[in-house]
Every structure is written in structure tokens, then in C-alpha cells.
Amino acid sequence: MNWNASYALLIAFSTIITYLSGIFLGKTNEKKTRKLIVGFSFTVNLLILFFYKYFNFFSASLDAIFVYCGIKLNLPELGFLLPVGISFYTFQALSYTVDVYRKEIEPEKNIGIYALFVSFFPQLVAGPIERSKHLLPQLKELNQLTYNNLKSGSYLILWGMFKKVVIADNLSIVVQTLYNTPQDFTGLETTIGVLFFSIQIFCDFSAYTDIARGVSRLMGIDLMKNFDSPYFSMNITEFWRRWHISLSTWFRDYMYIPLGGSRLGVNRTYLNLFLVFLTSGLWHGASVNFVIWGALHGILIVLEKLLSKNTSVFNFNKEQFSYKFFKIITNFLIVTFLWIFFRANTFADALIIISNLFNWDVNNLFNGNVYNLGLSSGQFWITILFVFIMLVVEYYNSFISSISGFVMNQSLVFRWSLYLGIVLIIFIFGNYGLEKQEFIYFQF
């Protein structure tokens, strides 16, 4: 409301519609009536989302199609800003309606508790997208501040702050330079910028999740884990089981399965998978780039399913470290390449960056042009060091054990030395430039 008071009416309206939908669903067992209630709830909420997020995109696309056919429509362009968190709270509210319809939960009769579920402040803006059966019961409990919650919650917040201001915000300097002027850089500089965005978006988004989970844990509320070391995945399918888990599982449970999932034959399964990822791309943003990004992920998922049915002529030992390492690196490079469409300002910029990736000059390896991207040599290499530390932590979490559990089991002196060391690193090496570095997923 401090930003735009009228937009608070949107979340209030969405809350009331889905709350009443749940109440009415709880009062009838008539199948047709229940479907009408769910349909009404979805229609109203998705129309709001379409109006504020997608109207201009579809208007411009329709205009372009008709211009191509020799007809000028001159459809209007709306001047509304995207309401904060609308994609996240809309999906969270709609999942509640479906859960009540499926009788997986009872309708929430206390509108205050339900409104808190929809607008729970730590995860309102960028998730994780919580499930009603996980979060609603916790909001009814008497939650008190405990030492264990304070300790583990503060650890998550501290780690999130490190990833955000020390790694993501420093990498963003290079990323913005490249993506705002892609024609000025080739070869090594372009490659560095593309790789940096891959690390930046992970650190930025997972940092928000860590901070949201940490703040919630201080209050005794447990939010779902949204990331599970995704860059150590060995294929695209596994990557989406580890990346933005709350969104991936939302699309699985509320779109893929209702479309038929894998129950209607092989071809329908592939179509359903592709449609889910195409929709996921559109969910992220109203532009051709996001649609292409989602479509490419969908195509790769389908190809993986197809290839998995064919027996390889090569007899690889899939348990060997070298095989796993090769698969992880290959998958990371594929994901990183696809991020170009996600980050580029326009489709034309994406094509320039892809072209320049392969336009190498050997002299650039030695002439220091990489420091023209915005970080001095000292800043560049210290940031690389912190990225390496982050990857070691992620590796430990993925293949050995929980790093937080390891830290919590150490002596008091060790723990507090580590905590104070991280605080000092955040203060000294964090990027606190004049330009505010918002979380990337605030735009969705």
C-alpha cells in the first residue's frame, strides 16, 4: 500500500473470491456446482493476472499479426505497473481452491487466518508458493520464539544475505553491462557475462528463499524448501526437480496431472510436458523471450524422455565420478545457454549474445578486457572466490550432508567465529552501490 494503495485492493479481492469459493465448496457435494465454483474462482483470478501482466503483450502480438496481414488494429496499450507479487499470491490462492475442491483440506472458515495465508509477508513477493495443507495449519498454532528457531532462522538469513549482496549483486554489475550493450562484447567477455548470470540468478533467487524461510522460522513457521543444489543436476528433468521447487510442483499438481499427466499415452504425456513448460515460461513474463525459454526447456524434457527409452550403444559406468561430473557440467552449460533468452532485454539482443559467444579473439585472454565489464581485477577475483565457496557449500549439501547441520554441531567458538566472519564479509565485500539491486524475481 505504501507503493500503490489501490493495488492492495487486488490482493484483497483475490483473497475474498478464493475464501468464498472454499466456503461454498464446503457446503455442496453436487459435482456440477463444485466445478462451477472452481471455474469462477480461476476465471476471476486469472483475468486479473492477464489484465495486469499479459494484456499489453497479447495486444502487441495481435497488432503485429494483423499488420502482417495488412490490417491496422491500433489496439490500446495499458499504462499499469505490474502489482507486486501478483503471480505468486494468485497461484497460492488458486491452489487452495483446488485443494478444497479435491477435499484434501477443509475450507478455512476464519477469514483472518485465510488472508494471512495468502499474504504471509516473508514469501508474498517471490515465494516459495506455499500449499494450503502445509502453511494453513501452522498459522493456527501458538508459535513462540525459541532458541533453536532463532539459531536456525538467523543462519538462513545470514547465508541468504551473503549470496545476495556479496555474490549476486557483484555479479549483476558484469551481467548488466553485457546485457545492456551486448554488441560491445565478444568471446571471453560475453562468455563470462553469460556464466555470471547463471550464478547470479541462482544466488539471487535462492537468497530470497533463504531469507524468507529464515524470517518465518524466527516466528515458528516452516516454509518449504525451494532449491536443492540445482546446478549439480545431471539432466534437465532433475534440474526442474531441484530448481524453484514450489513452482515446479505447482505446475505438476495443478496443471500436468489435470491435463492427464502420463495416463493417456506416450504422445499425450509429451504434449502435456511441453505445455507445462511453455506455460511456465509465460508465467515468468509476458515476452517472446520467456516463451522461447520455456518452450526450449519443454523440448529438452521431451527429448530426454524419448532418449531414455533407447538403450545406449556405449557401456558407461554411471556410478563413476567422471561420468557424473561430465553430465553435471554439460547440463549446467545447457541451462546457462538457455538463460540467455531469460535475461536478454529483447530477442534481437539474445541473438547478438549467442552470436558473440562464438566470436573469440585469443588476445582477449590476456589483454584484460574482461575488466571492462564493470569489476576491477581485485573485485573480479574476490567474487570468483566467493562463488567457489558457495559451490563448495552447495556440493556438500547435495552429496554429503546438510552444511547447516555440520555448523550447528560445532563448538560455540567455531560457530560464532564463522557467523562474525560472514557478517564482516557482507559488510566489506557486499555491493552497496547507488543503484538499488532488487531481487530478480520481484519482477514476476
Give the pLDDT of residue 159.
94
Give the pLDDT of residue 246.
94
Give the pLDDT of residue 105.
92
Residue where the block lists cell 524453484: 244
How far is 217 from 240, CA to CA, in rounded Å? 25
Give the pLDDT of residue 365.
67
Which one of the listed residues 134, 244, 284, 297 is annotated catalytic?
284
Amino acid occupying residue 303: L
How far is 332 from 198, CA to CA, in rounded Å? 9
The burial class, CB within 10 Å (0-12 / 13-18 / 19+), for 56 is middle
Amino acid occupying residue 108: E
Cell numbers at residue 136, please? 494453513
Give the pLDDT of residue 313.
52
Residues 88-114: b if buried by 16+ CB within 10 A, e if exposed? bbbbbbbbbbbbbbeeebebbeeeeeb
Give the pLDDT of residue 191.
93
Residue where the block lists cell 567457489: 388
Where the chain has pLDDT below 50, the residues are none
Question: Is residue 134 among the annotated active site residues?
Answer: no
Give the pLDDT of residue 3.
76
Give the pLDDT of residue 38.
92
Give the pLDDT of residue 404.
81
